[in-house]
Amino acid sequence: MTKPLGVILAGGKATRMGGGDKGLLPLKDDTLLGHVIARLRPQVGEIVLNANGDPQRFAHLSMAVLPDSIDGYPGPLAGVLAGLDWAAAKGASHIVTAAADTPFFPKTLVADLEVAAKASGLALAGTRDGNNGKIYRHPTFGLWPVALRDNLRAALQDGLRKVVLWTDQHNAGLAEFPVTDTDPFFNVNTPDDLAVAEALT
């Protein structure tokens, strides 16, 4: 299978961090976004950034910046759709998404998503709580087939916003990742979270 294209989702408002671009916050010798790019790049083909507003603030990354396809900050599915449209124009069959504020996601993310994908070619990442066995899905980390982009567009235009409602409709697979000392999908939402990420880096 040809490597899917990578889409980093950075289209949110980062209200719990006081606004602005979380991905540009410093983390050790780089930025949050820099760590995400370094982890995703070996796993995919080309990478693009989904972000709204002036794309010039990301000019130093030398990568394309895609705004949401749907106005009004409708959530991560809008970024997924923008990525699918971009991938379709390149003749790609799939994209993999990763969140711009989650610097420790697995280095086997793409391979494990591909194994988990069912007939629809769709899969999300998940972790299992070691205490109660509950599965937690991480809907900003997924493998998405370009063939479903028009269906997703119609769902968004009809007002759908919750990722798992749409992925459940298409029988998405689940790639389950172990939680060791920390959740591999730990994401930075607050200044305290950034301090934790510093300690883990």
Helix axis angle for 149-157 and 76-89, nearest 10°, is 150
136-151 pLDDT per residue, tens:
999 999 999 999 999 9
Share of the chain above pLDDT 90, in %: 70
> pLDDT tens-digit profile of 37-55?
999 999 999 999 999 888 9
Q: Which residues contact 162 (CB under 8 A, 6 or more apart)?
A: 75
Q: Number of folded domains in the chain? A: 1
pLDDT at residue 40 in the model: 98
Question: Which segments within the chain are labelled E, that is strand?
Answer: 5-9, 26-27, 30-31, 47-50, 65-66, 94-99, 123-128, 135-145, 173-177
Backbone angles phi, psi at 133, to 5 degrees: 75, 5
Cβ–Cβ under 8 Å, residues 94 and 145: yes
The pLDDT score that the predictor gives to residue 193 is 92
This prediction's pTM: 0.92
Cβ atoms of 48 and 89 closer than 8 Å: no
| Res 63 pLDDT > 60 | yes
DSSP characters over 84-102 = HHHHHHTT-SEEEEEETT-
Listed in sequence order, the residues at least 6 apart from 42 whose beta carbon sits closer than 8 Å to its beta carbon are: 107
Share of the chain above pLDDT 70, in %: 95
| Residue pLDDT, tens place only, 107-138 | 999 999 999 998 889 999 999 877 788 899 99
Structural domain boundaries, residue 103? 5-200
The reported pLDDT for the residue numbered 119 is 87
Q: What CATH number should be reported for the domain holding residue 17?
A: 3.90.550.10
What is the 8-class DSSP label of residue 45? S
7, 171, 195 from 118: Cα distances, Å: 21, 7, 38
